[in-house]
Chain A
Amino acid sequence: MKGKKKTIKVDYLARVEGEGALHIEVQDNKLQDVKLKIFEPPRFFEAFLRGRSYSEAPDITARICGICPVAYQMSAVHAMEQILEVKVEGSLRDLRRLLYCGEWIESHVLHIYMLHAPDFLGYQDAISMAKEYPEEVKRGLRLKKVGNEILKVLGGREIHPINVRVGGFYKVPTKRELEPLAEELKWARDAALQTVEWAAQLPIPDFQQNYEFVALRHKDEYPFNEGRLVSSQGLDIDIAHFNDHFVEQHVAYSNALHCIHKERGAYLVGPLARYSLNFATLPQEIQQVALQNNLQKTCCNPFQSIIVRGIEVLYACEEALRIISEYEPPQPMMDFKVQAGVGHGCTEAPRGICYHRYEIDDEGMIRDARIVPPTSQNQKMIEEDLRHFVAQYIDLPEKELTWRCEQAVRNYDPCISCATHFLKLHIKRS
């Protein structure tokens, strides 16, 4: 006789960026199958980057994702600068970190308050949550705005900033233009601390995973733009060797490729990985805040990512304040001569590493482009989390289990728009 069959189906995942669905099958209380389906249509970015100028890459790749355009702009300019042998240093480099601070604050706060917290408290969305948590939601909105203000002043606008170019910026701000940001950031620092404390007391499901964390590591700073690529399993490589260690798989049910480690399979990028691999470079006060708010030096509960995002917002506020206080306007851009070559860029998007590789000819035209966004790297891990989570919580009523599974996906703040642009990758290796 056939046993009881249970299917968890979420046809359109809400509160994620992009279009995805979830399919889980359970037979006789045993998990049969887990699929995170991505049906967002592909947009062929790598294909039409060919034949475009190196200088267009930051603006074009930004359009892969409206939530983390800075990550694409940064990875693109770094890859090109490697080819053109330009080194962006000093306060010009700091300005890039400042821009990234803006994106981390904006993106993380959006996720914490508007996309993730409602799950913990049982609301459909932040708007309905605002009825009982007006102060918190207002705090979230104002905090998010501080991130957006940084993007606006430095980048020209919040979504798809227009000021980033290979070699630097089109225009750098004056000291006076940055000052009002500092005022808001002081408030934001306190609000970020309250955010961490608030997130720490949310009802967090008991769940631990054995992850291989992968993130950038820089010897003296919490990573944004630069560093070696390291993992909790001993990986320690130059970003140029990304392809030697990682590979994508094309699965039938998804419009996005799954990126895995060649020998060890699924791995995790994003806040948990960054935090656990770089705890030592967080300022001491922030380490203290983390340890006082239910975190250890390593975090293996993906539901706690909401606290870790809070810690990273706090860090981004501190870092932004430091940069603004030390700021002296530099020349907007470094000089360089166009030359042919291959370059790699890998920077820490809010959701984890975003890897780019370009080949350009001696006129600066792109001959080949390859982009690996964070969500395609996490996809396989999301499925593994669900596998374990469902096994552990199989007795929950179906409705609740479904919601919890959605929440488990949202732990990743998955950006599905990012994950699907890149099917072109497959091209080159087939």
Chain B
Amino acid sequence: MAGTKKPKLAVWKFASCDGCQLTLLDCEDELLAITEAIEIAYFPEATRNVVEGPYDLSLVEGSITTEHDAQRIHEIRRNSKFLITIGACATTGGIQALRNLQNVDDFVRIVYAHPEYISTLETSTAISQHVKVDFELRGCPINKEQLLEVINAYLNKRKPNVSSHSVCMECKLRGTVCVMVTKKAPCLGPITHAGCKALCPAYNRGCFGCFGAKETPNVASISKWYAHLGVEQSEISRILNTFNAYPDCESKEEECER
């Protein structure tokens, strides 16, 4: 590797399940080629080796849930020329952001025999709430092709070709019949960010929103649809708050109606 000047890649982890970084190791056909083009400088899940920063490209997985991590992300930002968040945890706070809807003090008091051993913040927040993020990849987990595309785009200094329409649109593109119409299955497809190629409807189930809200989601309208299908209000709010929290129904309604 001496003498060559490959861009340095770092992969960082915050509160997460490791699934998004695993996606990189799941690129079985491309992995060795990627390492030809890029130097893996920091990626503890894959190597003991640590190359000092600064890093050209940082992939960040996971959300911020501790004071220490809230500091650490700033250090990483300072040390990274280009920073991409990978997955729902890093991009929206992820499933562990469900704590944001409840009183974390209660959680902690009940949870720990020795709360003094544990430090946790009240919320789980997205990386972009702490530092500037250059690009965000959605999904719980991210999609492998999209990951390869952003790395490729980075190497070739172009904009990644990652579409921002809805899962609903992807269904139409792949020719899947609508599960909301045929199966009366509540589906988040119309308000969910594309990227999975409308996987769930192709498996006869409604989208449960693992890619998170698309831009300007019409939450009010989809809630009406669900009510129409006979889905209860409590279930609607559960569906909208799992892997990514969707914008609040009421406040959105005003915006949409404008």
Q: Which residues of A contact B (CB under 8 A)?
A: 12-19, 40-44, 47-48, 52-53, 56, 59-60, 63-67, 69, 110, 114-115, 118, 124-128, 130, 137-138, 141-142, 144-145, 148, 156-160, 162-163, 165, 170-171, 250, 252-253, 255, 332, 406, 415, 417, 423-424, 426-427, 430
Nearest CB on A from B61, distance (A): 9
- 6 interchain residue pairs of minimum CB distance: A66-B19, A125-B47, A124-B49, A48-B98, A145-B28, A14-B48
Residue of B whose beta carbon sits closest to that of A49 = B98
Residue in contact with B203 in the complex, picked from A59, A63, A69, A163, CB distance below 8 Å? A163
How many Å lie between the Cα of A80 and that of B98 in the bound state? 22
Residue in contact with B22 in the complex, picked from A66, A137, A423, CB distance below 8 Å? A66
Residue of A whose beta carbon sits closest to that of B69 = A41
**B203 neighbours in A (Cβ, 8 Å):** 156, 162-163, 170-171
- Tell me whether A15 and B44 are in contact (CB under 8 A): yes
- Tell me whether A127 and B32 are in contact (CB under 8 A): yes
How many Å lie between the Cα of A18 and that of B49 in the bound state? 16
Assuming A48-B99, A130-B32, is B110 touching A427 (CB within 8 A)?
yes
**B95 neighbours in A (Cβ, 8 Å):** 43, 48, 60, 63
**A137 neighbours in B (Cβ, 8 Å):** 32
Residue in contact with B112 in the complex, picked from A59, A125, A148, A426, CB distance below 8 Å? A426
How many Å lie between the Cα of A176 and that of B68 in the bound state? 52
Residue in contact with A43 in the complex, picked from B96, B110, B112, CB distance below 8 Å? B96
- Tell me whether A56 and B19 are in contact (CB under 8 A): no
How many Å lie between the Cα of A417 and that of B40 in the bound state? 22
- Tell me whether B200 and A426 are in contact (CB under 8 A): no
Residue in contact with B31 in the complex, picked from A128, A141, A427, A430, CB distance below 8 Å? A141
* Binary per-residue interface labels of chain B (17-53) against chain A in the complex, 1 for a CB within 8 Å, 0 otherwise: 1111111011011011001000010001111110000
**B120 neighbours in A (Cβ, 8 Å):** 41-42
- Tell me whether A17 and B199 are in contact (CB under 8 A): no
**How many residues of B sit at the interface, in one of the four size bands?**
35 or more
Beyond A15-B46, A41-B15, 9 extra complex contacts between A and B, CB < 8 Å: A47-B107, A53-B235, A56-B242, A67-B22, A127-B40, A128-B47, A158-B26, A159-B22, A423-B118
**B141 neighbours in A (Cβ, 8 Å):** 66, 157, 159-160
Nearest CB on B from A21, distance (A): 11
Residue of A whose beta carbon sits closest to that of B205 = A170
What are 12 A-B contacts with C-beta separation under 8 Å? A41-B14, A42-B118, A43-B96, A63-B94, A66-B16, A127-B40, A141-B32, A156-B200, A159-B19, A160-B210, A171-B204, A250-B114
How many Å lie between the Cα of A126 and that of B29 in the bound state? 15
How many Å lie between the Cα of A127 and that of B102 in the bound state? 44
**B107 neighbours in A (Cβ, 8 Å):** 44, 47
**B140 neighbours in A (Cβ, 8 Å):** 63, 160
Assuming A130-B32, A162-B199, is B17 touching A16 (CB within 8 A)?
no
- Tell me whether B25 and A417 are in contact (CB under 8 A): no
**B49 neighbours in A (Cβ, 8 Å):** 124-125, 128
Assuming A148-B26, A156-B203, is B35 touching A417 (CB within 8 A)?
no
**A157 neighbours in B (Cβ, 8 Å):** 141, 196, 199
How many Å lie between the Cα of A424 and that of B203 in the bound state? 33
**A124 neighbours in B (Cβ, 8 Å):** 47-49
Residue in contact with A417 in the complex, picked from B18, B23, B31, CB distance below 8 Å? B18
Residue of B whose beta carbon sits closest to that of A142 = B28
**B200 neighbours in A (Cβ, 8 Å):** 156, 162, 170
Nearest CB on A from B152, distance (A): 19
- Tell me whether A66 and B46 are in contact (CB under 8 A): no
Nearest CB on B from A189, distance (A): 18
* Binary per-residue interface labels of chain B (217-255) against chain A in the complex, 1 for a CB within 8 Å, 0 otherwise: 000000000000000000100100011000000000000
* B208 interfacial by beta-carbon distance below 8 Å: yes
Assuming A41-B69, A145-B29, is B45 touching A417 (CB within 8 A)?
no
How many Å lie between the Cα of A53 and that of B186 in the bound state? 15
How many Å lie between the Cα of A148 and that of B110 in the bound state? 39
How many Å lie between the Cα of A159 and that of B26 in the bound state? 9
How many Å lie between the Cα of A126 and that of B48 in the bound state? 10
**B181 neighbours in A (Cβ, 8 Å):** none
Residue of B whose beta carbon sits closest to that of A257 = B113
- Tell me whether A52 and B238 are in contact (CB under 8 A): yes
Residue in contact with A17 in the complex, picked from B18, B20, B110, B238, CB distance below 8 Å? B18
Residue in contact with B44 in the complex, picked from A14, A66, A141, CB distance below 8 Å? A14
**A128 neighbours in B (Cβ, 8 Å):** 47, 49
* B65 interfacial by beta-carbon distance below 8 Å: yes
Nearest CB on B from A282, distance (A): 27
* B146 interfacial by beta-carbon distance below 8 Å: no
Nearest CB on A from B143, distance (A): 8
Residue of A52, A63, A110, A145 most packed against chain B (CB within 10 A): A63
- Tell me whether B45 and A17 are in contact (CB under 8 A): yes
Residue in contact with A125 in the complex, picked from B29, B48, B69, CB distance below 8 Å? B48
- Tell me whether B18 and A67 are in contact (CB under 8 A): yes
Within B67-103, the residues touching A (CB, 8 Å) are 69, 94-96, 98-99, 102
- Tell me whether B99 and A417 are in contact (CB under 8 A): no
- Tell me whether B44 and A60 are in contact (CB under 8 A): no
Nearest CB on A from B194, distance (A): 15
Residue of A whose beta carbon sits closest to that of B65 = A41
How many Å lie between the Cα of A226 and that of B201 in the bound state? 30
- Tell me whether A15 and B23 are in contact (CB under 8 A): no
Assuming A44-B99, A144-B28, A156-B203, is B46 touching A114 (CB within 8 A)?
yes
